[in-house]
Amino acid sequence: MTEILIVEDDNDKAKQLENFAREFIPSPDVSIARSLQTGLRLALSKNWDLMLLDMTMTTFDRTLSDDGGRPHPFAGREILRRMKREGIAIPVVIVTQFDRFGEEAEELTLKQLEIELKESFIEFRGIVRYRANVDEWKSQLENAITDIVEKFAGGE
């Protein structure tokens, strides 16, 4: 089984990513986390084969009685930092709907963020820009994980 973790607080986007995983990745076993905290907990819980990670998320899962707290603009980066501290290396692709993150002094463009993450995290594969009504992201995501797909298609 290819163990895939999707960390995404948008239900519709999470569903699209899950469908992508089931279509393009051999024998996928997909888990979905819906906030920074849940994503972090699951990321540290086992050796995943691939993580599809949102960047901007709420800290906690959103429910009817909990709004999840203020959205954290760099939630995905926090998860990567913590994984690095714990010595966990999982192939990660950031899948985001935004091209700017943070505000004022902290603001980064998508390109700047990608450069920073590539320098900091060995297993970081890149950022894919997601748009719900355009399928271009699928081919970008496929390209980012070609080696993983081949590895598991070969039954390694």
Partner 1 sequence: MDLQSTKAVEEERVAILLKLGEMLEYMKEPEDEVIKEELRDIRTRQVVRETARKLDESKIYVNIEAIRRSVDVTLKETWNRYHLASQDPEEKRAERFEQVVRSSLGDQIRFVNLNAPSTRRSALFQRMVRELGEQFTTNKEFGLNANLSTNIRHGYVLRELRSPLVSLRLVTNKDSDSGSYLENPHWNRVLASLSPPQKIDVQKALADFSEKIDSHIDDLNRRKLRVKSEKSVEGLFIYNLSDASIDQLYRRFSKIDDYDEFASKVFSVFWSATETGLDRVRKHLLNVVLTDLHLAVDELENDLLSIGQYYQLNAITSLLPNAKIDLRHAIERVSSWFALSRDHEYQDYDLQTAFDVGLRTVESYYSDIEIDASFSSNEVHQMKGSTLPFFARLFDLLLDNAGKHGAERNSKLSVSAETTWDEEMLMLTVSNTLKEKHDMVKLEAKIDQINSDYGKEAAKDLVGEEGGSGYPKIWKILRRDLVLQHDLRVFLMDDRFHVEILVARGAKI
Q: CA–CA separation, 108 vs 146, rounded Å?
A: 28
Residue 106 or 119 with smaller CB distance to partner 1: 106
- Of 5-64, binders to partner 1 (CB under 8 A) are 9-13, 37-38, 40-41, 59-64
Q: Which two tokens stand for residue 145?
A: 């994980």
CB of 24 to partner 1, least distance (A): 23
User: x/- contact string, 97-136, with partner 1 (CB under 8 A)?
Assistant: xxxx-------------------------------xx---
Residues binding partner 1 (CB under 8 A): 9-13, 37-38, 40-41, 59-69, 71, 97-100, 132-133
